[in-house]
């Protein structure tokens, strides 16, 4: 049977071959039998529309905006910095020990001195497992500090761009989540990110809030980096198949954030690459692009005990954004290919 309705039960026992099929092998599959799992995709981006591509801006032809980037050593901040540097844009990206976003006095001082037109908040606490043990820092960075930044943006008449997460959803739906789908985070990290988006929405600041999922780029804190490390020491990798979302490349996040700013969009949007994948498929595709021959076995999440419950199907639809911009967002496969090329 195909997966018109995706639920964990039907997914686990789906045995008909369609076009996106993989096998769970004993002893990792249910009842110790080989189980073939099929995921039926419904998201095919329209290809006749032009893609937004990241090209250097000409500072002489764009309005002379001043950008403040927070969380400067994170993977998304680094992508913004690299692009802004190449384009000769007016920006500052203070190190975390210079601009600690949880300190309202420092935030006020930086706003007062630099007077940014746009603040791009890339700072976050993303340690999902650690947040479950002690959520204090997660809430301080992902929620309280966002309220501080948004209040400063409002006071100084700046726009704030903030980023959320697919973990605000419980993953129990059978279709991609839209911007107004009900939220119900399953873990402390997700609750802290939800509190952060509420803070920015309620602040009264001019805001753009993008929910992201499975972010990767140049940095050490992403799934591909972990896969490379694991594959250095192991010939066989076990990767979970029961988490499904959209791998999303920082290069595309930067391109589509800037396109949305240029277009004057405000409000909440899902900014993901198009399509979706299980972690297992993501790993297989990555190694295929790398040309690395490695055996990967799909396993259930409970193979890796964790204090955190992660959503099963936290896929988000990017339709609202692509419609507003008149441009599809490249598929996750296209993005992984580009990422691998520049490694």
Ligand X SMILES: NC(=O)c1ccc[n+]([C@@H]2O[C@H](COP(=O)([O-])OP(=O)(O)OC[C@H]3O[C@@H](n4cnc5c(N)ncnc54)[C@H](OP(=O)(O)O)[C@@H]3O)[C@@H](O)[C@H]2O)c1
Annotated catalytic sites, by residue? Answer: 189
121, containing H or E segment: strand 118-121
DSSP secondary structure of 267-288 = EEEE---BS-EEHHHHHHHHHH
- If you compute the radius of gyration of the chain from its CA atoms, what whole number of angstroms results? 20
Can residue 177 be called a binding residue for ligand X (CB under 6 A)? no
Can residue 136 be called a binding residue for ligand X (CB under 6 A)? no
Find the binder of ligand X among 110, 148, 212, 227 (CB under 6 A).
212
Can residue 215 be called a binding residue for ligand X (CB under 6 A)? yes
Find the binder of ligand X among 80, 163, 241, 269 (CB under 6 A).
163
Find the binder of ligand X among 214, 276, 280, 287 (CB under 6 A).
214
Residues 113-132 that bind ligand X (CB under 6 A): 122-126
Can residue 94 be called a binding residue for ligand X (CB under 6 A)? no
Indicate the burial class of 10 (C-beta count within 10 angstroms; 0-12, 13-18, 19 or more): middle
Q: How far is the CB of 30 from ligand X (least distance, A)?
A: 29
Can residue 183 be called a binding residue for ligand X (CB under 6 A)? no
Between residues 38 and 222, which has the closer beta carbon with respect to ligand X? 222
Q: How far is the CB of 314 from ligand X (least distance, A)?
A: 10
Between residues 40 and 225, which has the closer beta carbon with respect to ligand X? 225
Can residue 74 be called a binding residue for ligand X (CB under 6 A)? yes
Q: How far is the CB of 283 from ligand X (least distance, A)?
A: 15
Q: How far is the CB of 74 from ligand X (least distance, A)?
A: 2
SS3 call for 154: helix
Residues 247-306 that bind ligand X (CB under 6 A): none
Between residues 4 and 202, which has the closer beta carbon with respect to ligand X? 202
Residues 140-159 that bind ligand X (CB under 6 A): 141, 145
Give the C-alpha separation, 122 to 26, whole Å.
42
Residues contacting residue 45 through CB under 8 Å, at least 6 positions apart = 274, 275, 322, 328, 329, 330, 331
> SS3 letters for 8-62?
HHHHHHCCCCCCCEEEECCCCCHHHCCEEEECCCCCCCCCCCCCCCCCCCCCCCC
Between residues 24 and 123, which has the closer beta carbon with respect to ligand X? 123
SS3 call for 99: coil
Find the binder of ligand X among 32, 53, 136, 221 (CB under 6 A).
221
Instruction: Pick the closest to residue 310 from 252, 236, 223, 196 (CA basis).
Output: 223
Residues contacting residue 160 through CB under 8 Å, at least 6 positions apart = 118, 119, 121, 149, 150, 153, 200, 203, 205, 206, 207, 208
Can residue 231 be called a binding residue for ligand X (CB under 6 A)? no
Q: Are 121 and 161 in contact (CB under 8 A)?
A: yes
Contact region with ligand X (CB under 6 A), list: 110-118, 213-221, 288-296, 334-342: 213-221
Contact region with ligand X (CB under 6 A), list: 14-22, 71-79, 316-324, 334-342: 71-79
How many binding residues for ligand X (CB under 6 A)?
Answer: 25
SS3 call for 76: helix
Query: Other C-beta atoms within 10 Å of 318: how many?
Result: 28
Can residue 76 be called a binding residue for ligand X (CB under 6 A)? yes
* Binding-site ranges for ligand X (CB under 6 A): 70-71, 73-76, 96, 100-102, 122-126, 141, 145, 163, 165, 212-215, 219, 221
């Amino acid at each position: 049977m195909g997966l018109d309705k995706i639920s964990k039960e039907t997914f686990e026992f789906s045995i008909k071959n369609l076009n996106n099929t993989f096998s769970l092998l004993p002893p990792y599959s249910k009842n110790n039998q080989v189980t073939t799992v099929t995921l039926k995709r419904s998201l095919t981006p329209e290809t006749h529309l032009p893609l937004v591509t990241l090209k250097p801006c000409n500072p002489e032809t764009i309005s002379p905006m001043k950008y403040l980037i927070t969380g400067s050593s994170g993977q998304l901040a680094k992508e913004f910095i690299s692009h802004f540097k190449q384009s000769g844009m007016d920006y500052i990206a203070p190190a975390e020990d210079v601009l600690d976003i949880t300190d309202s006095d420092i935030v006020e001082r930086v706003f007062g001195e630099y007077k940014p037109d746009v603040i791009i908040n890339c700072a976050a606490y993303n340690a999902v497992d650690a947040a479950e043990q002690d959520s204090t820092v997660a809430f301080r960075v992902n929620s309280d500090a966002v309220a501080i930044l948004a209040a400063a943006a409002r006071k100084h008449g700046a726009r704030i761009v903030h980023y959320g997460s697919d973990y605000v959803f419980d993953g129990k739906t059978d279709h991609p989540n839209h911007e107004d789908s009900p939220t119900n985070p399953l873990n402390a990290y997700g609750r802290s990110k939800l509190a952060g988006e509420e803070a920015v929405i309620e602040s009264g600041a001019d805001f753009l809030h993008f929910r992201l999922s499975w972010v990767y780029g140049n940095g050490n804190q992403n799934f591909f980096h972990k896969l490379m490390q694991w594959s250095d020491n192991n010939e066989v990798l076990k990767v979970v198949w029961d988490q499904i979302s959209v791998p999303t490349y920082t290069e595309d996040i930067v391109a589509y954030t800037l396109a949305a700013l240029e277009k004057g969009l405000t409000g909440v949007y899902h900014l993901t690459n198009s399509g979706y994948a299980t972690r297992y498929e993501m790993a297989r595709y990555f190694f295929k692009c790398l040309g690395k021959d490695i055996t990967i076995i799909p396993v259930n999440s409970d193979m890796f005990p964790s204090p955190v419950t992660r959503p099963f199907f936290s896929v988000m639809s990017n339709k609202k954004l692509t419609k507003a911009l008149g441009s599809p967002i490249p598929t996750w496969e296209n993005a992984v290919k580009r990422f691998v090329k520049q490694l």
